[in-house]
Amino acid sequence: MLWTEKYRPKMLHHLIGQESFKLDAENWIELRDMPNVLLHGPAGIGKTAAAGVLSQQMLGNDFEANYFEINASDDRRLEVVRTTIKDIAQQKAIGDCPFKIIHLDELDGMTSDAQNALKRIMERYSNNVRFIITANDRSKIIYPLQSRCANYYFEALDNEKIKSLLKKILEKEGKMHPSDLELEDFISFYNGDVRRTITEMQAALASGLTLRRQADKTLENYEKILKLIVSNDHNKALEKLHNALYLGKTVKDLCFGLHEVIVKSTLDDNSKYKYLRAVGEAEWRGNSMTPKVLVSWLITQMR
């Protein structure tokens, strides 16, 4: 079983950090009422887990019949809002609970037209349903939706809290934990993404690899891409980047991987900073360009 699922928080007080949200959420549960909620912040720090435990405690024994989770970046079309979400919102809650809860995960991937349609549903069916919206980038959510929600920024956990969590998991699994220094280096490599850190740690132990080797292994594909760029085989490099997108990598993932291998490379300073400038601008442009077009643009900047 994946450790990210096995050790997912079951109660609000199990969440690490995010004290302001937890305090308000406990009050909502006591009152059996809540606003629409927007949870935003970096990937892998517990937004989806928080939405789940809040919903479970709010809905109680009727959770299964009244909780609906939709990945808004996968189902991002206007038609999904007009049919699936509207159909759920029109019906009253089943059993002894005050309303249904619809969790829209990664709403920053939903089109503006779909978000505008969602705004109208949120207003019209407020007696039947509450929405919990999770997103990495709040700027991609239209302001009318933001203003109809209680907004909570989920901060990245500091490394000491992540280290403490990893040690607890290792103890429960009966695994010898690495030295503090090795754990700290490993945590820093994944830049505060708790979900990714736990997943990679489990993979390392299952494969018999050191944490350092596991971290290096994640960069091997990016090293191959950089070699292709340096050798002017740009078409092959672009093909590998497109394949990575098809396999589920985000532009942010790609930029992070390329940044790491460029910094560690033995390239001359001019080439290194040229590539780093292109990668940095690509990540910034990720807010306004589609991923496939953006990686194509990136390769042209690295020629």
Same structural domain, 116 and 242: no
Same structural domain, 65 and 106: yes
| C-alpha to C-alpha distance for 303 and 299, rounded to whole angstroms | 7
Same structural domain, 131 and 33: yes
This prediction's pTM: 0.80
DSSP 202-227: HHHHHHT--HHHHHHHTTHHHHHHHH
Same structural domain, 15 and 143: yes
pLDDT in tens, 28-53: 999 999 999 999 998 888 999 999 99
Higher pLDDT, 177 or 118: 118
In the predicted model, what is the mean pLDDT of the chain?
88
Q: Would you state the pLDDT for residue 79?
A: 66
Q: Domain total for the chain?
A: 3
Question: Cβ neighbours of residue 224 under 8 Å, at least 6 residues apart?
Answer: 240
| C-alpha to C-alpha distance for 195 and 8, rounded to whole angstroms | 10
Same structural domain, 191 and 225: no
DSSP 247-277: TT--HHHHHHHHHHHHHHS---HHHHHHHHH
Q: What are 24's strand-pairing partners?
A: none
Which CATH number characterizes residue 242's domain? 1.20.272.10
Answer with the one of 132, 153, 174 that is the final residue of a domain: 153
Q: Would you state the pLDDT for residue 118?
A: 87
Phi, then psi, of 150 in degrees rounded to 5: -80, 120
User: What's the distance, CA 181 to chain centroid?
Assistant: 27
Same structural domain, 131 and 25: yes
| C-alpha to C-alpha distance for 301 and 278, rounded to whole angstroms | 6
Higher pLDDT, 214 or 36: 36
Q: Would you state the pLDDT for residue 72?
A: 65
Q: Would you state the pLDDT for residue 212?
A: 86
For residue 213, what are the domain limits? 159-217
Which CATH number characterizes residue 116's domain? 3.40.50.300
Same structural domain, 211 and 240: no
Answer with the one of 194, 217, 240 that is the final residue of a domain: 217
Same structural domain, 135 and 236: no
Q: What is the mean pLDDT of residues 263-285?
A: 90
Answer with the one of 98, 118, 153 that is the final residue of a domain: 153
* Helix, strand and coil in the chain, % to nearest 5: 60, 10, 30
Tokens at residue 200, please? 């990679």
Question: Cβ neighbours of residue 234 under 8 Å, at least 6 residues apart?
Answer: 228, 299, 302, 303
| Confidence band, pLDDT 50/70/90 cuts, at residue 297 | very high
- Contact assessment for residue 133 and residue 149, using Cβ atoms and an 8 Å cutoff: yes
Kindly tell me if the per-residue pLDDT of 177 is higher than 80: no
pLDDT in tens, 47-79: 999 999 999 999 999 999 999 998 766 555 566
Q: Would you state the pLDDT for residue 234?
A: 93
Phi, then psi, of 127 in degrees rounded to 5: -75, -20
Same structural domain, 192 and 289: no
Higher pLDDT, 183 or 249: 183
Same structural domain, 228 and 205: no
Kindly tell me if the per-residue pLDDT of 80 is higher than 80: no
Q: What is the mean pLDDT of residues 204-213?
A: 87
Give the residue from 201, 241, 240 showing the smallest Cα distance to 217: 201
Same structural domain, 209 and 225: no
Kindly tell me if the per-residue pLDDT of 138 is higher than 80: yes
| Confidence band, pLDDT 50/70/90 cuts, at residue 260 | confident
Same structural domain, 280 and 205: no
- What percent of the chain has pLDDT above 70? 97
Q: Would you state the pLDDT for residue 77?
A: 59
